[in-house]
Amino acid sequence: MTLNLQTYEPLPASPPIQPEKRYSPALALILSLLFPGLGHFYLRFWRRGNWIIGLELLALLIVAVGNGQLHAAAIISVPSIYLFAIIDAYFSAREWNAGVTDWLAGGNPRVVAILNLLTKGFGYFYLGDRTKGIVCFLAMSATQGALMLHTNVWTRVLAISLQVAVAMDGYRVARERLFNQYPELRPVPADAGNASVNIVDAANSNGLKPAFAIVFFVIFGAAMLIAYAASQALNGHAVISKGTLEQGPSGLTYRNLHERIELTVPEDWTRLRTEDTLVSLRSDGVSIIIQEQFATYAVASMLSETEADVRTRHPAASFKPVTTMLGGRLASGFETSYENSDGLAIHQRVFGLSRGFKIFILIETWMHPENRPSLDKIEQTVRF
């Protein structure tokens, strides 16, 4: 079995091939829960398992370091591939035990659904319906592009809902074609009696029943959907947490035990009260701000958005990339210079570091070259 975009001609009707070895659908499900693809390795579906593991690792890598639309797609792909691997491993084991694995070649409804979900219609190519695949891809891309012009939680949810709808349609089309080709696979109505079951149910009379597995899949999928919606609702919101400012032998030390952040500034600095920052400290012609945001996007994406905002407000601003060590970690960022509305030269450095589902942001501002050494010294005191 393969997970690719090849088009297969429907296989001629053939009797089930009784397997030499049976596999446990429940065990395939559990192994896929541990990591997507392991259940397929248990079933000896090496190629599909490699595809699943490779795609999941790639998506996780993009989530960690990517930005822009590619990062947004990876955020959807990680849980989608995970849920697909669990469902597909369970049902693939049942189909193997019934000897009908080959019947699904080129028309597996689950493969069609995941391809449509992740590629906006390429599952139809897998079924051989190229025209529908192209039309679906173009229509989905245009619609989602229009929705993202005014991006918020609801437009994101609607954009994802469209992809889910396309995935469900692909599953429905592939499933009906499969049942027409192989009527033995069609589910038996509940009122048909226990003596009448389809070929897959008959071969898996013991073990985890499909009804219980489907309930688990629905609950698990709903939990992931709620977690995703919650993360998107918090995305970009500032973390609000109070810290203390104490006089010490080296100056004023800011500590935030809840966020595990600390830094020290000269004793003549003062604190400004702000609502969207953890702390804002300043002196004559120089200031430093610490922020944290809930974020599922990468640091690079945050820096790009911040730079774009500065360019919008100050078109003549200059930029250059910079790096520094913050709390023993290498932090990337940018330095910008521009003139404010009073014609005064302003210099800023913005650094970002990921902290789980949060981003730590350090913003340094100075007006005179003699202020820069004090900021360099403050950077060395940052702990988190």
For residue 40, the model assigns a pLDDT of 95
Which helix H or strand E contains 139, and what residues bound it? helix 130-147
pLDDT surpassing 80 at residue 288: yes
Using alpha carbons, select from 234, 272, 259 the residue that is nearest to residue 363: 272
pLDDT digits (tens, 9 = 90+) for 91-127: 999 999 999 998 888 889 999 999 998 888 888 988 8
For residue 241, the model assigns a pLDDT of 82
Cβ-contact 286, 365 below 8 angstroms: yes
> Looking at residue 148, what DSSP letter applies?
G
Q: How confident is the model at residue 84 (pLDDT cuts 50, 70, 90)?
A: very high
pLDDT digits (tens, 9 = 90+) for 230-279: 777 777 788 888 888 888 888 899 998 888 889 999 988 998 887 788 88
pLDDT surpassing 60 at residue 9: no
Which helix H or strand E contains 34, and what residues bound it? helix 25-34
pLDDT surpassing 70 at residue 192: no
**Of 174 and 71, more confident:** 174
Stretch 352-374: mean pLDDT, rounded?
87
φ, ψ dihedrals at 152, nearest 5°: -160, -175
Stretch 179-187: mean pLDDT, rounded?
87
Stretch 166-195: mean pLDDT, rounded?
81
For residue 175, the model assigns a pLDDT of 92
- In the block, tokens 């953890």 appear at 278
Instruction: Give the type of residue at 367.
Output: M
Looking only at Cα atoms, what is the longest distance across the chain? 88
Using alpha carbons, select from 208, 221, 125, 215 the residue that is nearest to residue 174: 125
Q: How far apart are CA 295 and CA 236, in angstroms?
A: 6
**Residues 184-200 as b or e (16 or more Cβ within 10 Å = b):** bbeeeeeeeeeeeebbb
pLDDT surpassing 50 at residue 1: no
Task: Sketch the domain layout of the chain as residue ranges.
Answer: 25-234, 244-379
Average pLDDT of the residues of the chain: 85
φ, ψ dihedrals at 44, nearest 5°: 65, 25
For residue 248, the model assigns a pLDDT of 81
Using alpha carbons, select from 55, 74, 73, 54 the residue that is nearest to residue 63: 74
Laid out side by side, the sheet with 345-355 consists of: 270-272, 279-283, 286-294, 358-366, 345-355, 329-339, 318-326
Q: Which CATH class is domain 244-379?
A: alpha beta
Q: What residues have CB less than 8 Å from 137, skipping those under 6 apart?
A: 119, 120, 121, 122
Segment among 159-163, 225-229, 269-273 with least mean pLDDT: 225-229
> Looking at residue 362, what DSSP letter applies?
E
Stretch 143-150: mean pLDDT, rounded?
74
φ, ψ dihedrals at 283, nearest 5°: -140, -170
